[in-house]
Chain A
Amino acid sequence: MSEQANDTMPIRKTVTVPVTPQRAFELFTARIGEWWPLATHSVGEDQATGVVFGEGIGGSIVESLADGTTSVWGTITGWDPPHGVVYTWHAGTPVTEATSVEVTFTPGEQGHTVVELVHSGWDSRPDGSAARAGYETGWNPVIKHYARFAAVSGLPARAM
């Protein structure tokens, strides 16, 4: 695989948690407000007051801010508790320019659950008639996502 292909490959993250898939799913979605690191991982940073994960396809992930406004991070496109959830990820950008996050919950050993998160959609559009139109829009979601997070203070770059 070429280095360049790595630029657009999905980011994959796995964590094992000592609860059942049902519980793990509920904690990730309905109870996101209890664990999401809002102070560092949000649009509003210290002005962020909460985040809510919708329920079912079409539901949204919404951050609320101290001034009463909200910021939609994504929309649920796949909902299959306790197996998995898929949602677009478009903090502050149009839905059409979103990347995609899929989280799956798989039974592991001793009643634990393996949670895998795959963030994909980094690829710009394929060559062809749409390629030129894709020059601008293809980059936008990626840049805007990064820019959102770049604005967050105290979030260090991690060396690989």
Chain B
Amino acid sequence: METYEAVLEALGDSTRRRIVDMLRRSGPSSVAELAARLPVSRPAVSQHLTVLRRSRLVTYEESGTRNVYRVDPTGMRDLRAWMDGFWQEALDTYAEAARKDAAQADQSSMAMRKGLPDE
């Protein structure tokens, strides 16, 4: 599975979106700190963090006996790269249409010139 697909699946859950938002706003946090602000148990938060870590939306460091989680930019970057490709492809087809349009305009103006009598 591509990273952006994993990111989409991970962010399809509202609790996980809140966890990512909390880490973005409040900075690195422990599982206990996150659980204290969420209506779910600490083990549930840990499970969500595992999903987020696999999709590279969060990462962690061991700090003494606890893990401190923070945002990993990799997941969002892959997702944005994919969206970036979406607009690139759309603009490419647009530019192709514009080139054809310009070529047709050239041809019809040549045809008109040819059609003029006594040129």
Measuring CB to CB, which residues of chain A are less than 8 angstroms from any residue of chain B?
A: 3-4, 6-7, 11, 13, 15-19, 23-24, 27-28, 31, 34-37, 40-41, 115, 117, 119, 122, 124, 127, 131, 135-136, 138-139, 143, 145-147, 149-150, 155-160
Contact = CB atoms under 8 A, between A and B. Distances in A.
Interface in B80-111: 80-99, 101-102, 105
A158 B8 contact: no
Mostly, the B contact residues are helix
The main secondary structure of chain A at its interface with chain B is mixed
Contact of B94 (A7, A27, A136, A147): A27
A2 to B, nearest CB: 8
A157 B95 contact: no
Nearest to A17: B98
B26 to A, nearest CB: 10
Interface of B: 2-5, 7-8, 11-12, 14, 17-18, 20-21, 24-25, 71, 73, 76-99, 101-102, 105
Task: State the 9 A-B residue pairs at the shortest beta-carbon distance, nearest first.
Answer: A158-B85, A35-B97, A17-B98, A3-B73, A18-B102, A7-B76, A160-B81, A157-B82, A15-B91
A13 B93 contact: no
Contact of B86 (A6, A149, A160): A149
Nearest to B24: A4
A72 B14 CA distance: 25
B11 A143 contact: yes
A35 B3 contact: no
Contacts of B83: 11, 119, 145-146, 149
Nearest to B98: A17
Contacts of A16: 95
Contacts of A143: 8, 11-12, 17
A36 B99 contact: no
Contacts of B93: 35-37
Which one of B18, B88, B92, B97 has the greatest number of beta carbons of chain A within 10 Å? B97
B84 A158 contact: yes
Contacts of B90: 36-37, 41
Contacts of B86: 41, 149, 155
